[in-house]
Each structure stands twice: as C-alpha cells, then as structure tokens.
Amino acid sequence: MPSSRRPIYLNPAAANERCTFPAVDGLEQFHKSLPNYNPTPLVPLPQLATELGVRSVFVKNESNRFGLPSFKVLGASWGCYRAVASHLGLSPTVDFDELSAKAKAVPISLFTATEGNHGRAVAFIARLLSLDSHIYVRKTMDDKTRSFIEGEGARVHKVDGDYDTAVQEATDAARRTDGGLLIQDTALEGYKEIPGWIVEGYSTMMGEIETQLSELGLQSSVIVTPVGVGSLAQAVTMHCKSQSNPTTVVTVEPDSAPCLYSSLKAGSLVSVKTSSTIMDGMNCGTVSLTAWPYLQRLVDASVTVSCHESHSAVQYLASTSVAAGPCGAASLAALRQLAATRETGSPLASDSVVVLLCTEGTREYATPLDVSPEDAVSLTQMLTAIDSSNPTLSVADGVGESKIVEYMEAWFQHRGIEYHRIETVPGRPSIVGVLRGTGEGKSLMFNGHLDTVSLASYERDPLSGLLGEKNGRPVVFGRGSLDMKGGLAAALTAMSATITSGRIPKGDVIIAAVSDEEDASQGTQDVIAAGWRADAAIIPEPTMGSIITAHKGFLWVEVDILGVAAHGSMPFEGEDAILSAGWFLRAIEEYQKHLPTDETLGPASLHCGLIRGGEEPSSYPANCTITIEFRTVPCQTQQSILDDMNTLLADISKENPRFRYAAPRVTMSRPTQKLPFDHPLAQRAADIATPVFGSRPSVKSQAFWCDAALLGEVGVPSIVFGPAGHGLHAKEEYVDVESLRQMEQVYISLISDLCQ
C-alpha cells in the first residue's frame, strides 16, 4: 500500500564518486593498546537475508567496545589522544602512558557536549589520562544516562536547550578555561582538526569489518550507517568510496532529526528543528562542517525512520541475540524501508552483502507509539489510546495535551510535513500541520480539538481504542473516540492520502489540532493569535454526518448578592445573602420568558449553573455568588446582557431596600456562529458528500457550541461536519467505523475541490 511517509533520498551520482582515505599511522596500534581491546563481532542474520531477498546481512555489533556500550569511544579516544598530544607539543605516536604522565604536569581539562555515548567516551579517556572532564547535556537527559557519564568521573553540566545549544556552551566553557580542550565530533568554523581526528578513529571499525568479511570470502556491497552529526557517516563513506570496489553507503536518521536528509534535499547545509526521540544519539540538528562535503557527494541513499520502527528493530535484533539500543537498531529499520520500497535506483539486489552498523548496546527508553497509520480507523484507535483529558474541566485530574501533541509531532515528522507547536500555557500545547500547496490556490483548515472530558466517568477502559461492535456495526470504543479524535483522524489521513496521491493542491491544507476546547478554547485562541487563517475551515466535530453552519454563543455572568456576616444567634446584626438571592432568582426566572428568538437558531436561553454562598450553618452568609450561563443569538451582545442584569438588580433594590449586590461580571464569553445554509462552502460540502453517503446530508444549525465561532469571528467561513457515533461525555463512547471511512473520503474530495 502506498505511504505518505518521507521518501528515500537517492543519489545515483554517488555510485561513480571516489575519494582517498589513507591509513592513519599508529591508529590501529593505539586502539590495541587500550584496556580490553577486541574486534567487535560481525553477526550474520541469514533468516533476515532470505526474508529481504539479498545474499547476506551482517550486523557489526558495537554493544561492547572497551567495556563501553558504543562505538563512540573509537573516535573519542583517538581525538582525545591527538588533542592532548598536540597541546603538549608531543609526537602523534607518543606512548599512552607517557602522554598521561606529562598531561598531569600542566592544567588540562576536556570539554564536550553529548546526547550520551560520546560524552561518556570522552569522560572514560579523561579518566584513563587522569584529566578533568566537563560534559554538557540537555537538562532533559534521563538520569540513568547522566549517571553513567558521572560514573566515569566527569562533571555533568545541564543545558536549557537542544544539542546544538549544548555544543555552543561546551565550546564557550573550553575557551574560558586555562588548558581547556574541546573534544567535539561536530566541526565548526575554526574548529575542524579535532573532529577530523575523531573521524579517523572510526576507521578501526571499518578495517575490522573488511577483515571479518574477507575471512568469509565476502566483500560488503551495502553499508547502512547512522548519522547524528555525521562523523561516523563521514568515516564510513570515505572508507567505502576509497576501495577499489566501492561499497554503497546508506545513511539513517530519526524522522525528528533529519539534518543530513534535509541538507541533501536542499543541496546545501541546513539546520533543522529537532524534537524528542528514543534515538538520542542521533538527535542532532546540524551536520558537521567537515562531514557535509563528503556526505553530499558520496552517500548513495538517505533514509529516515520513526521511533516505533527503531523499537521494532531493537526487538528483532534481540530475538537474534544481538543487544542493540534504538540508535544501533536504526540501521535495520532503514534496511527494511529500503527493501519494502525497492524504488528505481534502490541499492539492494539479490546478490547484495549488507552490513548494518549497530552503534550502541541496549538501554532503557519509553516504548514509542506507531506513527505509520494511514487510515482513519487505525489512527482513531491510536489517538484514543493517548490520555489527553482536560486538566481544568472538572474535579477529576486531567493530564493535558502534551503527550498527544508529541505523537502528532512524530506523525507529521514521519511524513516530512511542516508543523508548528504553539504553547502559550505550559502543558497545554496545540499543533498546526501544513501541507503547502503548489501556489495560488485557496487554503482549507481542519480544526479539531485534542482534549477530552474526564476519564473518571467512563464505565470501562477509557483508553482502550478497541475495535468492536455496537448494534451490529463496527465501532471504535474509548473516551474521545467520537468527541473528537475520530474526526481529527479522518482529517489527518485525508492529508496523508493527498500526499500519497501525488496530486498536491494549489492551496495549503492546514490541520490545527488544538487544546482545551472542552473548557476555555485556549488552543484555537492561541492558533488565531499566532496568525493562522484559511479561506475556509471545517471543524470535524461529531455531527452524525450533518453539516452544521450555525450555533448559539454563550456567556457566563457572575452576580454577587451581598449580606452581612453575623453569628446565627444574632438576627438583628446579620443579613442573609443566600435568602436575598431568592429575589434575584425569581427575577431571572421572569426575565428568561422574554429572551429573543433567532429565525435560524431559535430562542436564546439561560440557566443558573452554579450557586455558592456561606461559610458554615451557624453564620449568616455575607455573600452568595450565582453564575448564569446565557446561550445567545446574534442580536445579543455581552454589553446588552450586562445592561439587562444591572437593570434587573437595580429594580429589585428599589423594591427591597435591604437588597444589596455587586456589579455583575462576565467570566467567559463566546460568539455565535451563523453561516447561511446556502453558503457555497456548506452546499459544496453537501454536493461532495452525497455520492459517498448515498443521500444528501442535511444542512442545519446545532445546539452545542464549538470553535467554529472563533474562526468565523476572524473572517474564516466555517462549517462543522464530522462522523457519527454515540456517547458524548457519557459512560461509554464510540465512533462508527463506516462513518469514519466516509468522512475520510469526503475530506479528501474537499481538499481536492476547495484548494484549487
């Protein structure tokens, strides 16, 4: 089945490119002199080779190199050794023990930034040389990884920022320190010699692979290497393209940190925004300056993989007794993608001998969710299984939208879709994904909320996302499946289907997945404040297949009825605010009989939603607060309602001189939504849906409020149009599977029709 995932980058010209990568004097002997040197194993995977239709697959297992769980120590050790020797004016072949003895006589400290293994390796060598080491890490690094670095005797510095920020802080600290040496595998302007030595250090591994294969009468034809900042990939490509029979080089990066892939596509070195990934060691936003020219010219194919694909590869390798972490297993995930795609120009063939560089051993990480779903039903199940309950809506604790936004980020990244995270309130993020059109077309926004009501009121497992049956029809169960993760999923998969079709529309397709709609609509307000607009919008709330063009607004007004606090035994000193509130409640009851009526939306309404007063039974209450919700029609305004309330209160005070009150205040206000039934957007949506549904959907108004009104208020024509199901805010909730599939098809057609 076609996929909308980010395609493989192929560079056919690399097959004819060559370079020189001469042997480094003293390197092999240096590594052999370090404690516990042994070549790491090259593990055959014959079953995988048969499955993928190639001659052989081998894994170069770097899970134990000098007692450390990563290949990084090969480059870090040589880089440290050469840097310290150069600083002391010693020969590049100086004995390691002599180097250590002379290094103790002067102040030398090693500095680096890391996502884990490189920093640990630098700290390891610093300990062997009896030197101080300072390792800079993101403050979000997990405690266990940080403790491993500290266990090598390093001082760890937490940085508020990403990997590139950590590199800059380590660089600045090294410059400020007498005898400070930066041991970074990222080359920068004016800093290229030490990264070059680190690259040289990795050639030991390449030499081992060559020897190990030759003993089997084989030569590699394809090598798959992780990237990160590109130092290992540089060593691999230079080695492979310097051979008399050059080897094809395939690189792999996380979906969330495709710095090489993006640079290759752009044709120039670019930096990318990164986000969380289980492939921490590759979470880098910029390719090393020294690596880039080689990688641009020599890499044959570039692949990005999701966290879930890497996790699946970890599990497969574990079944073959290869201990791999997610960075190490990424090579296998890339190979599977190559084999599944077999695009024109694919480097795989039936006689291919493939070597996967497994760059790290096992480590703990959170099991990632699968971002590959391309259909509305599977994606609804996935989204429903993520807790995104609203933390401000009810007395039950909610977790907010952070976790589901992280999933959405990964979903967009897997497909190379532009996205923007918006988080004006900590822990309440929204995300906007944009499929850019080819130009000069109209834009269409889908606006769907990520939050759900409380899980506490759900009867069974609210996060099951299970596919089941209700009344003889297949449905997806779970809190939010209907309200409104199902509609949002249909919009997302309509976007991905548009990508897969190859018929990118002229106008932009925007998906605003927003927070807090169930309470205060913070998310849509944030999206609007950030400047997002469209020529039309669809809110895929569960309308049971109807098209909603209009709904009432609402207004919350608080009124304080005042009394005088006193002991319950002293009636002449006290004034009962709660009892006085009865005057106001009777007046409100009469007032509501005269509320206006709209020809489309029907009569306005009100109800007293909350009443609070008193401290304890034995005291006269000094205050009674009544909260009234008005469901409004267009002729009502916030000011007109406040004026009515002030008049009503003043009239009561004239009738009862002991009646006292504070000025009423608005605590929340939301506009009405009123698009004409015959608006072109509504009628075109009905036209497109008719052949999919088998009958023409009704166009009407609806009682509930939603974010369509906020978009309408800023000039974006909006309709509410989403799937069918049952159980809004109820003890059991489900969305109809067939309705999801129908809505996906309708949204695909709407994109094609409206964005031209």
Q: Which helix (H) or strand (E) holds 470?
A: strand 467-470
Pairing mode, strands 109-113 and 180-182: parallel
CA distance 319 to 279: 20
Please list, in sequence order, all residues whose beta carbon lies within 8 angstroms of the beta carbon of residue 603, skipping any fewer than 6 positions away: 595, 596, 597, 633
pLDDT tens per residue, range 172-222: 999 999 999 999 988 888 999 999 999 999 999 999 999 999 999 999 999
pLDDT of 734 above 80: yes
Instruction: Show the tokens assigned to 398.
Output: 């909610």
pLDDT tens per residue, range 378-398: 999 999 999 999 999 877 789
CA distance 392 to 520: 9
Confidence of residue 583 (pLDDT cuts 50, 70, 90): very high
pLDDT of 158 above 80: yes
pLDDT of 260 above 80: yes
pLDDT, residue 186, reads: 87
CA distance 327 to 224: 12
CA distance 333 to 226: 11
280 DSSP 8-state letter: G
By the 10 Å C-beta count (0-12 exposed, 13-18 middle, 19+ buried), 41 is classed as middle
| Cβ atoms 739, 379 nearer than 8 A | no
Going along the chain from its start, the domains and CATH numbers come out as 9-67+203-358 (3.40.50.1100), 71-195 (3.40.50.1100), 388-453+483-550+674-722+733-755 (3.40.630.10), 553-670 (3.30.70.360)
What proportions of the chain, in percent to the nearest 5, are helix, strand and coil? 35, 20, 40
pLDDT, residue 683, reads: 98
3-state secondary structure of 80: helix
pLDDT tens per residue, range 399-430: 999 999 999 999 999 999 999 999 999 999 99
pLDDT tens per residue, range 331-383: 999 999 999 987 667 899 999 999 999 999 999 999 999 999 999 999 999 99
pLDDT tens per residue, range 635-693: 999 999 999 999 999 999 999 999 999 999 999 999 999 999 999 999 999 999 999 99
pLDDT tens per residue, range 694-720: 999 999 999 889 999 999 999 999 999
Instruction: Show the tokens assigned to 465.
Output: 């996302």
Q: What 3 state SS string does 402-419 have?
A: HHHHHHHHHHHHHCCCEE
CA distance 486 to 541: 9
- Give the mean pLDDT of 19-41: 91
CA distance 212 to 189: 38
Angle between helices 737-754 and 486-501 (to 10 degrees): 50
pLDDT tens per residue, range 442-482: 999 999 999 999 999 999 999 999 999 999 999 999 999 99
Q: Which of these, 427, 424, 440, 448, lies nearest to 510 by C-alpha position?
A: 448
How many residues does this entry show for the chain? 756
Sort residue 729 into left (φ over 0), alpha (ψ -120 to 50) or beta: left
pLDDT of 520 above 70: yes
pLDDT, residue 343, reads: 63
Instruction: Show the tokens assigned to 74.
Output: 């090969």
| Cβ atoms 255, 304 nearer than 8 A | yes
Q: Which of these, 511, 500, 747, lies nearest to 6 by C-alpha position?
A: 500
| Cβ atoms 213, 353 nearer than 8 A | yes
By the 10 Å C-beta count (0-12 exposed, 13-18 middle, 19+ buried), 489 is classed as buried
Range from 24-33, 202-211, 329-338, 609-618 carrying the lowest mean pLDDT: 24-33
pLDDT, residue 703, reads: 86
CA distance 499 to 479: 30
pLDDT, residue 344, reads: 67
CA distance 655 to 519: 38
pLDDT of 1 above 60: no
Report the percentage of the chain scoring pLDDT > 90. 92
Between 33 and 563, residue with greater pLDDT: 563
CA distance 286 to 687: 48
Average pLDDT, the chain: 95
